[in-house]
Structure 1
């Protein structure tokens, strides 16, 4: 689906369906230097089981045009502009990693004119989302090295254990990042590192929140998600075993099943 505002055209995967005004909508937001395809398994399910789906490509990522946005706040404002142009009787926002920060900030400032926000799912979440100097330097000066570092740190195992025979999620992630827009990994990581609005955003979010993390996540340790969940009476947390930060590919059904339960209970 093509979405246009300003001078640029943006892309959201909708499962090949035209959005319907009488269905609830699930919005998926990807992480740094990635794109909508990280949600292939989860977004397709919801698109074919009674929901509108909008799995967005952030500006200057994959099929979306426009310029890279320099902060989580600007990305969240863009996301709410996209949501304002879509339809649904209610919305559910799902974000992974950097996308989880964007989802949180967007939820705190949700302003759709005709529908409310029924749930927020934060996958691979940490706050603050600090970036090591080593990774930041690689992202600026040697992006391929940064892609390798992020791919290695994002997976619980680099040598197998894939849910589907012949499927290699580490290789797919590396390929996706290698094909990302020049400068996107550095810009995205700076936005994550600089974001300081998490505490204020959580105060403003009133809908139920799901924290979903891999128990072996090195990029966004599950203990940080647990700490945020413990602060919020409206939050639940689920930790999936034997997977890391690339949780949607290492445990595709695990993530899908938790989203089905959480979102379905609020339909």
Structure 2
């Protein structure tokens, strides 16, 4: 029986994003790894075409016990990582689920080289600060639309999440925003019905980017989850 545990966090950003999406979490930097997925940000590796390929790319890099925190598409990758690597002791699905279908019009607009304005507006709570929205517009402008398009296609084509989620026997936290308009409103109920290990926490005044919109509450919840997961791993 293990007598101690010291889990780190591995943060995985969402579709078309970079590790900069976690920029509000500086207080966690000593216990965390923030990565750019292949083909994103500072990672010059070839961009993956599927969620499973992303997970396979990352699985061999996880050599120490950790909690994987995945935002949106990153949550799908977290599910598959947990199935592939026993070093993953818990996962946090941030504004995510076991599937993330994408409307064909969104993909078509991205294929034309444009990021849909309505999608950008729907990604944040109504009370999101102008400063945050300006930062996010700049972030969007610096990322190639083709990268986002390929990621959205990967999300839409991912069909294995339900079976993967059902089989996982590790602690799972679904951290959602009460104003998230990009995931179905019944997400929390569906996740719990698929796996009794799922705990759902909904943050107030937050849209799809909960870590950016409510960083203090976000940090509080994932730290508590880490403490609970560590306790369960040494029993």
Tell me what 2:66 maps to.
Answer: 91
Aligned counterpart for 2:97 among listed residues 126, 134, 139? 126
In structure 2, relative to structure 1, the CA distance for the partners of 1:203 and 1:127 (3 Å cut) is closer
Distance in 2, matches of 1:264 and 1:212, equals 16
Distance in 2, matches of 1:161 and 1:152, equals 10
More helix by share: 2
Alignment partner of 1:263 is 2:234: no
Aligned counterpart for 1:76 among listed residues 55, 58, 63? 55
Tell me what 1:200 maps to.
Answer: 163
Tell me what 2:191 maps to.
Answer: 228
Tell me what 1:156 maps to.
Answer: 125
Q: After the TM superposition, which of the residue ranges 236-245 and 125-134 deviates more from structure 2? A: 125-134
Tell me what 2:213 maps to.
Answer: 250
Alignment partner of 1:102 is 2:77: yes
Alignment partner of 1:140 is 2:122: no
| Bigger RCO of structures 1 and 2 (CA < 8 A, at least 6 apart) | 2
**Alignment gaps of 5+ in structure 2:** 231-235
Distance in 2, matches of 1:33 and 1:119, equals 24
Tell me what 2:233 maps to.
Answer: none
Instruction: State the shift of 1:47 in Å.
Output: 2.6
Alignment partner of 1:45 is 2:27: yes
Supply the RMSD in Å over aligned alpha carbons: 1.8
Q: Tell me the TM-score normalized by structure 2.
A: 0.89
Instruction: State the shift of 1:41 in Å.
Output: 2.4
SS in 1 for 2:175: strand
Aligned counterpart for 2:38 among listed residues 59, 62, 84? 59
Q: Tell me the TM-score normalized by structure 1.
A: 0.79
SS in 1 for 2:61: helix
Instruction: State the shift of 1:161 in Å.
Output: 4.5
Distance in 2, matches of 1:140 and 1:218, equals 23
SS in 2 for 1:59: coil
Distance in 2, matches of 1:139 and 1:161, equals 24
Distance in 2, matches of 1:214 and 1:261, equals 18
Asked if the contact 2:125–2:206 (Cα under 8 Å) also holds between the matched residues in 1, the reply is yes
SS in 1 for 2:186: helix
SS in 1 for 2:121: helix
Correspondence list, 1:161-200, <5 A: 161-162=128-129, 168-200=131-163
